[in-house]
Amino acid sequence: MLFVFTIALLLELDLNKRRRRHLTSGSSLATKKAERKTDRTTHTLIVLMTVFIVTEFPQGVLAVLNGMYPNDIHQFVYLSLGEILDLLSLINCCACVVVYPLMSSLYRDTCRGIIARARRIFSDKTPVKTLLIENTTIRFLDDQDVLL
């Protein structure tokens, strides 16, 4: 199903690219920038889909075979290849963490911004005053904070 939807999405992206090229006659700078962005999106989808198919297809085939021949497939294949199938599933889960930063500058910029903001928050060494009232801790960051 995912394969079919991905192919449909790629076809729709191609159709939109052709429409955009037809409307703008394909010569403007904005068209070329948009085309490169679409191309990057297409490449990212193709890479993620390839990783998914390579890692999940063997497990899907074995699941179908296990449904047809439950005792034989489980005993001879799953017991010997179970760890490899689990490893393939883990690779599929981790693929996005590797592929997105490699292929998307917007994703990289967002991650850098989040990390920089977290560093500022956690490296701030301002003294904190603490007030304990009936097992509730109230923290004052500076002298201007007021308890209401």
Cα–chain-centroid distance for residue 54? 17
Q: Where are the domains of the chain?
A: 2-140
User: Is the pTM higher than 0.75?
Assistant: no
Tell me the pLDDT tens digit for each residue of 16-28: 877 877 776 655 6
Please report, rounded to a whole number, the percentage of residues in the chain having pLDDT higher than 90: 3
- The 10s digit of each residue's pLDDT in 75-97 is 888 788 888 888 988 888 888 88
- Tell me the DSSP string of 24-93: HTT-SHHHHHHHHHHHHHHHHHHHHHHHHHHHHHHHHHHHHHHHHSHHHHIIIIIHHHHHHHHHHHHHHH
